[in-house]
Amino acid sequence: MTDTNQKERLKLKAEVFKAMGHPLRLGVIEFLQGGERCVCEIVEHVGTEMSNVSKHLSVLKKAGLVADRRDGLKIMYRLAMPCALDFARCVEGTVIKRLEEQRSVMVA
């Protein structure tokens, strides 16, 4: 593999991690594990303005984490990279373990 190819590959991977690095976007990813949803459902779930959700969905789409399709007047989103959920669960498990360890130190 050439150095240029490796740098591009790492850059693309970093874009995925960066896209996942916002609480609202992580919430959208987790919400979409239940299946395809229209933007209106995503807006209701995350509890913020449509324009804000659209910006975050654009970031997720650009990174390849979600895909969309038009269904009449609705825009439907689905998880295009389901392995992102595995990573999020791994991180959550590690965070919980660290919190429990910190809590046990504070109590001792």
Q: Which domain holds residue 70?
A: 3-81
Is 86 among the domain residues? no
pLDDT digits (tens, 9 = 90+) for 17-32: 999 999 999 999 999 9
Number of structural domains in the chain: 1
For the chain, the first-to-last Cα distance in angstroms comes to 52
**Residue range 30-81, pLDDT digits in tens:** 999 999 999 999 999 999 999 999 999 999 999 999 999 999 999 999 999 9
- Is 101 inside any structural domain? no
- Tell me if 29 is assigned to some domain: yes
The count of C-alpha atoms lying within 13 angstroms of the C-alpha of 2, restricted to the half-sphere facing its C-beta, is: 3
Answer yes or no: are the C-beta atoms of 32 and 67 closer than 8 Å: no
Please indicate, yes or no, if residue 90 is contained in any of the structural domains: no
Q: The domain spanning residue 50 has which CATH number? A: 1.10.10.10
Whether residue 71 lies inside any domain: the answer is: yes
Does the pLDDT at position 108 exceed 90? Answer: no
Question: Predicted confidence band at 1 (pLDDT cuts at 50, 70, 90)?
Answer: low
Residue 26 included in any domain: yes
What integer pLDDT is reported at residue 80 of this predicted model? 97
